[in-house]
């Protein structure tokens, strides 16, 4: 089965939906038309650019180049984590915590899949490594971003409760334990919903892409199950690490809640 090639006209027709949505936003005074158009333009340019980069990378598989692309993806994801938070840690802490958590979780899970499950030769084959890392990293980024945002919001709204617990002799872990559990739960909600609805409500993107490319449906399903389990693991462990590090940063060495270490976005 050959792949159906999309023409510029096909993509232009799809872009009309974005223009129509922007017009609706303007008519209803939603105020998101500019952000919508900029996001559409940005995604188009970014995807075209990565398409050209991956074409060259696939033709010349090299661990150094794969590592470089993966590093760029990680740094951009780290920046996006702090960009979506209403309140963020001052200095480089917000970026560092998010990036480190994604590196520990997403990279570890991706390497595990490439070496022990997919077993490509070489193990860093870019046609497998880059898309797999992208899917895991993107979902881990969402979970960590939601978790950190919820944690800092809870610290502000529950300040009196936390400080009362500290005054009664609890340490910082006990004082903020409820918020930590809730923020990790919030970070896991998107992937739990995705797994629960997969195959009934929605056909996930990787599976759909493989089917459109001619892969037998059963094989596409196997890959999708693998990817969703990897995403769940990366998201869960990454969010837990990020929330734990950020929660510690909210307290000083004398077990005092330090909300002055946060700033509004």
Cα–Cα distance between 78 and 82 in angstroms, integer? 7
Q: Which of 16, 31, 60 is the last residue of a domain?
A: 60
Q: What is the pLDDT of residues 34-67, one digit of tens each?
A: 999 999 999 999 889 888 888 888 887 788 888 9
Q: What is the pLDDT of residues 174-212, one digit of tens each?
A: 999 999 999 999 999 988 988 888 877 777 777 777 777
Q: What is the pLDDT of residues 234-244, one digit of tens each?
A: 999 999 999 99
Q: Which of 11, 40, 60 is the last residue of a domain?
A: 60
Report the DSSP beta bridge partners of residue 89.
262
Cα–Cα distance between 133 and 1 in angstroms, integer? 27
E strand or H helix that includes residue 218: helix 217-249
Kindly state whether residues 215 and 165 are assigned to the same domain.
yes
Rounded mean pLDDT, 15-29? 92
Per the structure, the count of domains in the chain is: 2
Cα–Cα distance between 253 and 125 in angstroms, integer? 46
Rounded mean pLDDT, 67-71? 90
Q: What is the pLDDT of residues 77-128, one digit of tens each?
A: 988 888 877 788 888 888 899 899 999 899 899 999 999 888 888 888 888 8
What pLDDT, on a 0 to 100 scale, did the predictor assign at position 1? 52
Q: What is the pLDDT of residues 149-162, one digit of tens each?
A: 999 999 888 999 99
| Confidence grade of residue 265 (pLDDT, cut at 50, 70, 90) | low
Structural domain span for residue 51: 1-60
Q: Which of 60, 78, 109 is the last residue of a domain?
A: 60
What pLDDT, on a 0 to 100 scale, did the predictor assign at position 197? 84
Q: Which residue has the tokens 């900029």?
A: 38
Kindly state whether residues 44 and 69 are assigned to the same domain.
no
Cα–Cα distance between 93 and 90 in angstroms, integer? 6
What pLDDT, on a 0 to 100 scale, did the predictor assign at position 182? 92
């Amino acid at each position: 089965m050959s792949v159906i090639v999309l023409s510029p006209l096909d993509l232009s027709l799809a872009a009309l939906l974005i223009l129509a949505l922007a017009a609706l936003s303007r008519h209803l005074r939603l105020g998101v038309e500019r952000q919508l158009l900029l996001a559409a333009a940005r995604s188009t340019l970014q995807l075209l650019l990565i398409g050209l980069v991956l074409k060259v990378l696939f033709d010349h598989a090299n661990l150094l180049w794969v590592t470089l692309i993966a590093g760029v993806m990680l740094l951009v994801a780290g920046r996006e984590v702090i960009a979506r938070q209403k309140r963020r840690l001052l200095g480089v802490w917000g970026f560092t915590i998010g990036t480190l958590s994604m590196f520990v979780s997403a990279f570890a899970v991706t390497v595990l899949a490439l070496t022990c499950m997919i077993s490509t030769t070489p193990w860093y084959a870019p046609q497998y490594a880059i898309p797999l890392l992208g899917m895991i990293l993107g979902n881990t980024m969402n979970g960590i971003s939601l978790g950190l945002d919820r944690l800092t919001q809870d610290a502000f709204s529950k300040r009196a409760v936390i400080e009362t617990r500290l005054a009664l002799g609890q340490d910082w872990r006990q004082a903020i334990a409820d918020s930590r559990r809730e923020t990790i739960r919030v970070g896991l909600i998107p992937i739990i919903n995705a797994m629960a609805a997969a195959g009934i409500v929605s056909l996930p993107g990787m599976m759909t892409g493989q089917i459109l490319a001619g892969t037998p449906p059963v094989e596409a399903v196997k890959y999708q199950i693998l990817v969703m389990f990897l995403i769940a693991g990366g998201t869960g462990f990454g969010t837990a690490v990020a929330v734990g590090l950020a929660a510690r940063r909210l307290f000083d060495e004398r077990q005092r809640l330090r909300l002055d270490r946060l700033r509004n976005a």
